[in-house]
Amino acid sequence: MIRNPHDDAELLALVRRYVTPERRYLKLGGGLLRMQSPECDRFKRDLREDAGLITADEIAKLLEGGWRERRTAAWLVAVSRRTDFRERLGELLLASEVCCTGLAYSVTLASFGTARDADLLAAYLDRYLRRPDLGYDQTVVMGALQFIDLNLKGGQADRFRQPGGLWEQWLQDAPHMQDDSDPTPSSLSLIRRLCAFIDEGCGSSEGKRPVGRC
């Protein structure tokens, strides 16, 4: 069940504390890449501080909300590297209950970057590449999966992208994909740049990926 903050005093307090100040929820995504100093520096600092302050129970509560709450929670998970939320984010990605959250889930899983994260992304593609009628988050999930593949030298994305495979079929059949171009390069670039934002601007120095791999 998706909780409405106006019906839940605890959730509303969390929204006011972590989600809506300076319309944070709107900036978490591609908008981060258009920020310039000093706004960008301040945004990174505040996001990093809140990621360190919010508790696991509070994150779980935000993940019960709508798209604004879930998007913000996913980013706080990514910045604080709380990999214990990996499975929950994978479940939410697969369920696709609300709009405007798929990129946040994909970036978070890509920033964790393990084989299990690749499995969760692949599970999404297994389901939704079979639904060309649903223009959900197939492109950013593919970008996230390719990102992990490049870092791990894996090949999860290859089984989707083989000639005549699910990816090619989806590109042909999805009515919203009309220009016949493969969006994977731009999606991969977006994931890489957002992971770099997490690593370089918000994440701790411990456990960072080598320079140039994110």
pLDDT at 202 over 70: no
Per-residue pLDDT of 9-68, as tens digits, reads 999 999 999 999 999 999 999 999 999 989 999 999 999 999 999 999 999 999 999 999
Tokens read off for 89: 């984010």
Mean pLDDT of 116-141: 97
| Non-local CB neighbours of 57 within 8 Å, separated by 6+ positions | none
How far is the C-alpha of 130 from the C-alpha of 127, rounded, in Å? 6
Per residue in 64-108, pLDDT tens?
999 999 999 999 999 999 999 999 999 999 999 999 999 999 999
Helices assigned H by DSSP within the chain? 9-14, 24-27, 39-53, 56-62, 67-80, 86-95, 102-112, 115-128, 138-152, 158-161, 166-173, 184-196
- Report residue 180's pLDDT band, with 50, 70 and 90 as the boundaries: low
DSSP symbols for 31-64:
GGGG--TTHHHHHHHHHHHHHHHS-HHHHHHHTT
Question: Which of 83-92, 157-166, 171-180, 199-208 bottoms out in mean pLDDT, i.e. has the lowest?
Answer: 199-208
Q: Tell me the whole-structure pTM to 2 decimals.
A: 0.92
